């Protein structure tokens, strides 16, 4: 099944801070409320979690953190939906990007789930900003995640500038 143009998807996002003891609860919530897409950050999975990560009726796409503990992102997408994972060649950036297919190429959109740890350095931020600029060329973009950026003032939607660079401001369309 493709996403129908004008159709609505039921989605949920969670920062799990370890899925280790939360998988059963997540499955119950997803089944009860019949979500189409489930996005998760900080799942803290590694290859040892393959046996218990699957959810009936859903495709699981995930990017485990490489080289250290914690982090990672995942998407559960109902099996009936047509989606393609987009290339994410940099392992330092904890993002997963997919293109959801609409009917007759109408209603296509890009979905990204990202986790930015509070200690992430500016070089990794720049890689993320470059990728965000690329996927922002899509007619529709949905971005969810945990962006632990320093010095954000939510009241005025601003961030303090770092030496030599400005924090980009990205607004929805």
Residue 166's CB is within 10 A of a number of other CB atoms, namely 9
Helix (H, G, I), strand (E, B), or coil: what is residue 122? helix
Q: What is the mean pLDDT of the chain?
A: 79
Helices assigned H by DSSP within the chain: 23-33, 122-135
Confidence of residue 164 (pLDDT cuts 50, 70, 90): very low
Res 71: pLDDT: 81
| Domains assigned to the chain | 11-159 (3.60.10.10)
Tokens of 25: 């609860």
Confidence of residue 169 (pLDDT cuts 50, 70, 90): low
Q: Please tell me the distance from the alpha carbon of residue 10 to that of residue 134, in angstroms, as a whole number.
A: 26
Cβ contact 88:114 at 8 Å: no
The per-residue pLDDT for range 102-114, each reduced to its tens digit, is 766 667 899 999 9
Task: Output 20 or 48, whichever has higher pLDDT.
Answer: 20
**Of the ranges 10-24, 51-65, 118-132, the best mean pLDDT one:** 118-132
Helix (H, G, I), strand (E, B), or coil: what is residue 132? helix
Res 7: pLDDT: 64
């Amino acid at each position: 099944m493709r996403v129908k143009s004008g159709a609505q998807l039921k989605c949920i996002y969670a920062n799990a801070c370890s899925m280790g003891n939360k998988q059963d609860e997540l499955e119950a919530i997803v089944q009860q409320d019949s979500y189409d897409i489930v996005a998760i950050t900080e799942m803290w999975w590694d290859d040892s979690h393959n046996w218990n990560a699957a959810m009936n009726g859903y495709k699981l796409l995930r990017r485990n953190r490489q080289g250290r503990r914690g982090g990672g992102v995942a998407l559960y997408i109902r099996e009936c939906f047509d989606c393609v994972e987009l290339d994410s060649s940099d392992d330092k950036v904890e993002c997963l990007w997919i293109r959801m297919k609409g009917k007759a190429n109408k209603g296509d959109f890009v979905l990204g789930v990202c986790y930015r740890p509070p200690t992430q350095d500016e070089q990794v931020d720049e890689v993320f900003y470059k990728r965000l600029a690329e996927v922002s060329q899509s007619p529709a973009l949905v971005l969810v995640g945990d962006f632990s950026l320093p010095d954000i003032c939510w009241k005025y939607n601003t961030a303090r500038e770092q030496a030599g660079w400005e924090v980009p401001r990205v607004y929805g369309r």
